[in-house]
């Protein structure tokens, strides 16, 4: 099967995680992604750490399958190269500081005039038109502003979710938007210049916080975070086992609660108690239920608990550290790991989540800084002496070793 986005070219001026996640998804689906980087240092996520064969973990995770071209956009010659790339591109993705694309003459309105075929997508922190629109925004800042941190952790001890939820989700919404517009264009749905898209981290996180905001909006109650549990469902949480493991058990409806109480922890008295008849009742009296489950789990090993729960049709899992997930037998059994090339050697990376019949999503190499500059310039028609002149004038970065 041909890659769904084969023949689509995306130009990216991106940093950190949100926009790189967007373009990585597009690259995995077969788009050609040309990443424009500053000749001095490039994407600053390249230098977050050096744990992956001397490279940063964030960067190698979010930037596979792309081509890196170094351009000095303060140079007229560098800007001319960028415009020649945009002339033959389908989409332009950026997540620069507020106002940066406008200062460069690359705002959505600018592109509609000079490159009307280009779908422009800008990711920012808070969206235009509000009192926070001028502010820089990073994942933690937006998670705090959107209430996400207040719904994570424990009472009086808020926490940021470990994953960069704001950045990643914004990148996914952005990739979805570009795909939808490309489909609309293929169906003849666009007349005139291509549409532009703006996606903000704050709007993304307030959407992801939909349950919590809806609950509070209609109840007037800010729910108390419960660590590895949920204020919305009971019983639902983590419990220590006899063999020093941690099991997570959960129910989602009254029938499951009845099975858990009768068939797992052998407490028909709790199953018959009207105080625990509905989920709302159980949430109001969760401490007594949790104590009963905790007491039962403390008398049994993890394997026994999970087998018993599986037989009863009750959801359960093992609490794992990241190091344990890397070695997870479920990932190995389903052949989820693939080799990915990087400038410093081959690494293993997980396949993207979609499993598509007759097609495996691409997992191209992680680019070195400026690795594809010369090849892309040749493709644009620049002769070797013209490339050398651009380099001598500082319009492009040093030759890739």
Per-residue pLDDT of 170-204, as tens digits, reads 999 999 999 999 999 999 877 789 999 999 999 99
Task: With beta carbons less than 8 A apart as the criterion, state whether 123 and 42 touch.
Answer: no
Closest CA to 377 of 397, 355, 351, 349: 397
- Whether the link from the prior residue into 235 is cis, omega within 30° of 0, is yes
pTM: 0.93
Give yes or no for residue 304 having a pLDDT over 90. yes
The 8-class DSSP code of residue 348 comes to E
What's the whole-number mean pLDDT along residues 25-41?
Answer: 97
Rounded to 5 degrees, φ, ψ at 30 are 110, 0
Give the pair of three-digit tokens for residue 334.
Answer: 């389903």
Give yes or no for residue 80 having a pLDDT over 80. yes
Which pLDDT does position 189 carry in this prediction?
Answer: 75
Give the pair of three-digit tokens for residue 273.
Answer: 């108690």
pLDDT tens digits, 109-159? 999 999 999 999 999 999 999 999 999 899 999 999 999 999 999 999 999
The CA dihedral of 73, 24, 63, 392, to the nearest 10 degrees, is -30
Domains and CATH numbers, the chain: 9-210+333-393 (3.40.50.10540), 236-318 (3.30.1540.10)
- Distance (Å, rounded) from C-alpha 122 to C-alpha 11? 12
Give yes or no for residue 309 having a pLDDT over 90. yes
pLDDT tens digits, 88-118? 999 999 999 889 999 999 999 999 999 999 9
User: Under DSSP, is residue 285 helix (H, G, I), strand (E, B) or coil?
Assistant: coil
Altogether, the residues listed in the chain come to a count of: 401
The answer for residues whose C-beta is within 8 angstroms of residue 216's C-beta and 6 or more apart is 222, 223
Which pLDDT does position 191 carry in this prediction?
Answer: 75
- Distance (Å, rounded) from C-alpha 275 to C-alpha 174? 46
Task: With beta carbons less than 8 A apart as the criterion, state whether 259 and 314 touch.
Answer: yes
- Distance (Å, rounded) from C-alpha 155 to C-alpha 227? 9
Provide the pLDDT confidence category of residue 1 given band limits of 50, 70 and 90.
confident
Which pLDDT does position 174 carry in this prediction?
Answer: 98
- Distance (Å, rounded) from C-alpha 193 to C-alpha 118? 8
What's the whole-number mean pLDDT along residues 72-101?
Answer: 96
Provide the pLDDT confidence category of residue 21 given band limits of 50, 70 and 90.
very high
Say which residue the tokens 């690494």 belong to.
347
Share of the chain above pLDDT 70, in %: 100
Which pLDDT does position 74 carry in this prediction?
Answer: 95
| Helical packing angle, 384-392 and 76-87, nearest 10° | 130
The 8-class DSSP code of residue 260 comes to I
Which pLDDT does position 190 carry in this prediction?
Answer: 73
Full strand arrangement of the beta sheet holding 246-250: 236-240, 246-250, 315-318
What's the whole-number mean pLDDT along residues 334-349?
Answer: 97
75 HSE (CA, 13 A, CB side): 18
Which pLDDT does position 195 carry in this prediction?
Answer: 94
Closest CA to 286 of 266, 263, 302, 270: 270
What's the whole-number mean pLDDT along residues 333-347?
Answer: 97
Provide the pLDDT confidence category of residue 322 given band limits of 50, 70 and 90.
very high
Closest CA to 244 of 327, 287, 294, 302: 302
Task: With beta carbons less than 8 A apart as the criterion, state whether 155 and 225 touch.
Answer: yes
Q: What is the mean pLDDT of the chain?
A: 96
Provide the pLDDT confidence category of residue 242 given band limits of 50, 70 and 90.
very high
What's the whole-number mean pLDDT along residues 245-268?
Answer: 96
- Distance (Å, rounded) from C-alpha 178 to C-alpha 159? 32
322 HSE (CA, 13 A, CB side): 2
Which pLDDT does position 188 carry in this prediction?
Answer: 86
């Amino acid at each position: 099967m041909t890659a769904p986005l084969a023949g689509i070219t995306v130009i990216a001026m991106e940093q950190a995680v949100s926009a790189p996640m967007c373009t990585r998804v597009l690259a995995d689906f077969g788009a050609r992604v040309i990443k424009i980087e500053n000749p001095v240092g490039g994407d600053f996520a390249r230098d977050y750490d050096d744990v992956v064969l001397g490279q940063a973990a964030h960067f190698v995770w979010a930037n596979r399958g792309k081509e890196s071209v170094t351009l000095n956009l303060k140079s007229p010659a560098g800007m001319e190269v960028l415009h020649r790339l945009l002339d033959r591109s389908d989409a332009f993705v950026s997540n620069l500081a507020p106002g940066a694309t406008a200062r460069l003459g690359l705002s959505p309105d600018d592109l509609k005039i000079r490159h009307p075929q280009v779908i422009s997508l800008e990711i920012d922190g808070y969206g235009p038109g509000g009192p926070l629109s001028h502010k820089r925004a990073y994942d933690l800042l937006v998670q705090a502003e959107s209430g996400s941190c207040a719904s994570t952790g424990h009472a009086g001890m808020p926490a940021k979710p470990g994953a960069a939820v704001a950045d990643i989700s914004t990148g996914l919404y952005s990739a979805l938007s570009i795909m939808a517009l490309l489909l609309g264009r293929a169906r003849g749905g666009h007349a005139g210049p291509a549409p532009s898209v703006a996606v903000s981290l704050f709007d993304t996180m307030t959407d992801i916080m939909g349950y919590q905001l809806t609950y509070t909006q209609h109840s007037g109650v800010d729910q108390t975070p419960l660590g590895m549990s949920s204020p919305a469902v009971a019983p639902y949480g983590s419990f220590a086992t006899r063999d020093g493991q941690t099991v997570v058990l959960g129910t989602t409806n009254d029938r499951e609660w009845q099975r858990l109480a009768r068939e797992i922890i052998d407490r028909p008295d709790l199953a018959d108690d009207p105080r625990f008849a509905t989920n709302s009742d159980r949430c109001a009296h969760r401490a007594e239920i949790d104590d009963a489950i905790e007491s039962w789990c403390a008398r049994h090993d993890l394997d026994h608990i999970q087998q018993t729960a599986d037989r009863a049709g009750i959801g359960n899992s093992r609490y794992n550290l990241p190091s344990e997930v890397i070695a997870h037998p479920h990932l190995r059994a389903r052949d989820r790991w693939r080799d990915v090339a990087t400038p410093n050697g081959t690494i293993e990376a997980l396949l993207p989540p979609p499993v598509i019949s007759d097609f495996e999503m691409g997992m191209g190499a992680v680019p070195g800084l400026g690795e594809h500059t010369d090849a892309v310039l040749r493709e644009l028609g620049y002769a070797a002496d013209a490339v050398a002149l651009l380099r001598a004038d500082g319009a492009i970065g040093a030759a890739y070793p």
